[in-house]
Structure 1
Amino acid sequence: MDVGSVKANGLEFGYLSAGPEDGPLALCLHGFPDSAYTWRHLMPELAAAGYRAVAPFMRGYAPTSLPPDGAYQTGALAADAVALHEALGGGSDAVIIGHDWGAFATYGAAAFAPDRWRKVVTLAVPPVNAMMGAFFSYEQLKRSFYIFLFQTPLAEMALDRSFIEGLWRDWSPGYDAAEEIGHVMECLSTPGNIAAAIGYYRAMLDPSRLVKAYAAEQASASTPGERPVLYLHGAQDGCLGADMVMPGGDPSSVLTQLPPGSCAEIVPDAGHFLQLERPADVNRRILDWLS
């Protein structure tokens, strides 16, 4: 994979890329606590299929710059994706793929600017309206303790390597995440980067942190949009339980919040970081959908 940088939406984005420069853009967006390297298994497959795969480091994750306006809401992430499409020369044949926070950005970007994307893929986080009913169950609240911790002044002290290792153990049981955690620590190497990663969660629950400049994109992030979506969720996901997202394996609760023609699937023997745990299976499902 190649390393590069590009200016978009007022930020300098670092990114990884693979594939022909003149291929259709495949924009791959990572989540927390993760990095652009989360796509290292998928990107060569996309490149072999003719795509120019680009995985940016999300706003606030080094080497990408910190946003001067302090905006970390979903609307800002969606605006970043649309701006990256423009800056990278994407066309109407581009595809967008997002995991975790990258999935939130993907829903928003696809709904806000549908003409920019031919196909859409999200992993591990369904549309927000699909999970609200079960989010406040006791079991899910236990899984989501970190969201509430991140609303407190203790968050910056808590978010160290040990904490991140614990999240990966809980979210993807049995997976050796040593390489991934090394990349995460590089992305969160300064207090500003740590505050940025926490800022995503603070903007989620604190309306006072919403920047009005992204109001249109913010609204789009909670609408189904029109581009069909492939949604994949790990059967052993320890962050968002599969039993909450698709009770009994029934995808209907997710599909009702996605555009017509969408598909929702459970990936067996996979946790939250399914693209790393089951790369052959996940890559096949994604490439089949894109083709």
Structure 2
Amino acid sequence: MEIRTIHANGVEFAYLTVGEGPLALCLHGFPDTAHTWRHLMPALAERGYRAVAPFTRGYAPTEVPADGAYEDAALVADVRALHEELGGGDDAVIIGHDWGAFPVYATAGRFRRAVTLAVPPPGSLGGVFFDYEQLKRSFYIFLFQTGLAEHAAAAPGFIEGLWRDWSPGYDAREDLEFVRRSIGAPANLGAAIGYYRAMLGTTPPSGRYPAVEREAGAGAPILYLHGTQDGALGVELTKGALEHLPEGSRAEQVPGVGHFLHLERPAEINRLILDWLGPA
């Protein structure tokens, strides 16, 4: 895979790419990097896609955005700009995991097909997110609203602990090395935490971006996958998800895997994704 750069939505993005053909845009989450797609991207290329995995705003080697914006609307604007600057057409597809799934739900209408992993669609969380067991899993979200966030997240073992809890039994050493390179510096770690501060309103919206609206014709079908052992967002959050997805979508629980399901069982998850997307 090659690493390249592109300017989109006022940010200099670094991205991994492999293959030729219609665009397959792959979006990572936290605490992760574009390398999370190292198993899927070659498989996409073999199917005739041009797989592109950007390091999202603030994750090195992508720059920390000058506007300091991390709200949903900024992430959606990034996807729209990347789709355009990368020459994506109506035949492009999109895959998002964790934070990368959020803009997929809003922009699926400009893609032929879409895949989300580990995050249910907006509107399906309801009161389940405030279930006691889920609140325990989500402790870090509330910690990240405080002035202790950067110090805690930089402490030895914190990020490692999240991976261990979220994907029990998975050996994340290679991934953690990628994470250290990407958000090990204070400015990048602050950017990654900024997504969560914007999420709960601790950081007010930048005012640069309009409210998020789904793309016109946002009926592109979505495959939503969620591991039954997910330690970040419990599988019970998937209840009723299909009601909030476009017609023709599919929601599937994957037994025995955690939050980073595409890394834990890449052959199985690749097959599910590729079967859904079909040939380029």
| Category of TM-score, reference length = shorter chain | over 0.9
1:1-80 mapped onto 2 (5 Å cutoff): 1-20=1-20, 23-80=21-78
5+ residue gaps in structure 1? 247-252
Other-structure match for 2:91: 93
Tell me the amino acid that sits aligned with residue 268 of structure 2. D
Q: Of 162, 169, 172, which residue of structure 2 is paired with 1:167?
A: 162
1:99-248 equivalences under 5 Å are 99-110=97-108, 114=109, 116-160=110-154, 161-206=156-201, 209-216=204-211, 218-220=212-214, 225-246=218-239
| Aligned residue identity for 2:253 | I
- Letter of the structure 1 residue corresponding to residue 231 of structure 2: G
The number of equivalent residue pairs is: 277
CA contact (8 A) 1:233 1:272 kept: yes
Q: Structure 1 residues 201-210 or 158-167, which shifts more?
A: 201-210
Cα contact 1:58–1:64 (8 A) shared by 2: yes
Q: Deviations over 1:124-157 (max 9, x none)?
A: 0011311122000000000000000000000010
Amino acid paired to 2:237:
M
CA distance in 1, matches of 2:202, 2:126: 18
Q: Output the CA distance in 1 between the equivalents of 2:66 and 2:210.
A: 17
CA offsets, 1:149-191, max 9 Å, x none?
A: 0000000101125110000000000000000010011111321
Q: Cα offset for 1:8? A: 0.5
Q: Which residue of 1 aligns with 2:259?
A: 272
Whole-angstrom distance in 1 between the partners of 2:245 and 2:100: 16
Quote how far apart the aligned CAs of 1:269 are.
Answer: 1.6
Q: Which has the higher helix share?
A: 1
Identity of aligned residues (%): 63
Deviation at 1:271, TM superposition (A): 0.2
TM-score where L is the length of structure 2: 0.96
The alpha carbon displacement at 1:207 in A equals 6.7
Contact 1:71–1:209, Cα closer than 8 Å, also in 2: no
Q: Measure the CA separation in 1 of the matches of 2:48 and 2:196.
A: 36
What SS does structure 2 have at the residue aligned with 1:269?
coil
Once residues 203 and 270 of structure 2 are traced to their aligned partners in structure 1, the CA distance between those partners, rounded to angstroms, is 39
**Does the 8 Å CA contact 2:124/2:237 hold for their aligned counterparts?**
no
Partner Cα distance (1:242, 1:203) in 2 = 25
CA RMSD in angstroms comes to 1.5
Q: Which secondary structure state, in structure 2, belongs to the residue aligned with residue 122 of structure 1? A: strand
Letter in 2 for 1:78: V
Q: Deviations over 1:241-291 (max 9, x none)?
A: 112323xxxxxx001111111100011121000000011111011011111
Contact map agreement 2:4 2:15 (CA 8 A) in 1: yes
Check conservation: 1:224, 1:258, Cα contact below 8 A.
Answer: no
Residue in 2 aligned with 1:249? none
Q: Which residue among 263, 268, 273 is the counterpart of 2:250? A: 263
TM-score, structure 1 normalization: 0.92
Provide the residue aligned with 1:250 in structure 2: none
Residue 211 of structure 1: CA displacement?
A: 2.4
Distance 2:130 2:214 in 1: 24
C-alpha contact 1:79 1:109 (8 A) present in aligned 2: no
Please say if residues 41 and 51 of structure 2, whose CA atoms lie closer than 8 Å, have aligned partners that are also in contact: yes
**Kept after mapping to 2: 8 A contact 1:224/1:259:** no
